Copies of this chain bind each other. A is one copy, B any other.
Amino acid sequence: MAEESVISTIHSMADVWDAYRHELDGVEDRIHKNLDSSVALVNTVAAQILSGGGKRIRPLLLLLSARLCGYAAKEHHQLGSVVEFIHTATLLHDDVVDEADLRRGKKTARKVWGNQISILVGDYLYTKAMCRVVEFRSQGINEVLSEACNKMAEGEVLQLYYNGNPAIPESDYIKIVEHKTAGLIAAACRMGAILADASEAQQEALFRFGQFLGIAFQVADDNLDYVANGASLGKTIGQDLRQGKATLPLLHLLQHCSEHDRHMIKDRMETRTLNATDLDRILLLMAEYGSVTYAMDRARTYIDAAKRELELFEDSTARRALAVTADYMITRDR
């Protein structure tokens, strides 16, 4: 009964943060402790990006998955910090690859310290994470995490390969998203389950849960490029398009607009010459054909599929928190 009354308090993301604040503080503590390089510059650069306002979604999902499967110890704080290190390493490299100047409204590390430092501190964080993860002496964790990291790199290359090319099949767009974003989130969920000694069926359900969540998250994030308020997210509308990156709303639009408009969009992507008038026209067309709505519906479908995976588990605070977090993944302010 006491447990039931605790369960009932999880209705919103604010409730999740409240209920797991103490756990997330444990993750923060580990993140801080793992920044122990004898080269001070490494710690400075890493600390700057690690304290850049990230929500620690991956550690949260890992610890909720562990709790869902009955984990009672505290090693998941360390494993959560490892996943956050890896995520941060990919952000450092992504910002160099994308030549990004802003992240979450702040100057990127490459703008402050340069590309060289960003590449090398990314390498440092990734390798430091591997040092920490092998300490768990878990074959399952080693395999899941190394595989996820490899898929991430593969997804990034595939994305680069398609850069400037609007003729990307929707299935390849989803493959990119699955690899570059969903893989690590799925791995985080599965590692929580492994830590809790969960059954293979539970591990697989949580892996799929994370994968669906991750795809939905990235699709929703890509969508923001056509709807976000520039100031609040620290990014400008149409930035992906300007950089030659085709995402779901654009792929939808290209399938539905006139030959004339399709030609204009392809030309602007290939030549990187998008201007304000072009962008306004594209946004208007997207509204007309419901492209953003289509993409958001796709994201919502993935979230629904994710939540169905939770049916394998009995009701608990953690399960409710995971369901609430699933919805949160595609809300705007995250």
CB pair A160 B116 closer than 8 Å: yes
Select one of B96, B116, B128 contacting A150, CB under 8 A: B128
A119 and B97 form a contact (CB under 8 A): yes
A320: chain B residues within 8 A (beta carbon): none
B139 touches A127 (CB 8 A): no
0/1 per residue, A135-161, Cβ < 8 Å to B?
101010011001101101110111011
0/1 per residue, A104-137, Cβ < 8 Å to B? 0000000000011101110110111011011101
C-alpha gap A44/B153 in the complex (Å): 15
* Interchain CB contact under 8 A, A154 and B38: yes
**In-complex Cβ contact of A97 among B120, B127, B161 (8 A):** B120
Min distance, Cβ A108 to any Cβ of chain B, angstroms: 15
Closest B residue to A116 by CB, please name it.
B97
- A35 to B: closest C-beta gap in Å: 12
Whether A72 is near chain B, meaning CB under 8 Å from some CB there, is no
Pairwise interchain contact B157-A131, C-beta atoms closer than 8 A: no
| Cβ proximity bits A36-60 to B, threshold 8 Å, 1 near / 0 not | 0111011000000000000000000
Dominant secondary structure at the A interface: helix
Q: Are A152 and B127 in contact (CB under 8 A)?
A: yes
- Among B41, B117, B120, B149, the residue within 8 A (CB) of A127 is B149
**Is the Cβ of B96 less than 8 Å from the Cβ of A157?**
no
Complex formed: what's the CA distance from A139 to B124 in Å?
21
**Residues on A facing B (Cβ under 8 Å):** 37-39, 41-42, 93, 96-97, 115-117, 119-121, 123-124, 126-128, 130-131, 133-135, 137, 139, 142-143, 146-147, 149-150, 152-154, 156-158, 160-161
The 5 sampled A-B contact pairs (Cβ below 8 Å) are A37-B157, A120-B153, A120-B160, A127-B146, A130-B146
A127-B150, A127-B152 are known contacts; what are 19 more A-B pairs with Cβ within 8 Å?
A38-B154, A39-B154, A41-B157, A41-B161, A42-B154, A93-B123, A97-B119, A115-B115, A116-B160, A119-B119, A120-B153, A120-B156, A121-B157, A123-B152, A123-B156, A124-B153, A127-B149, A131-B146, A134-B143
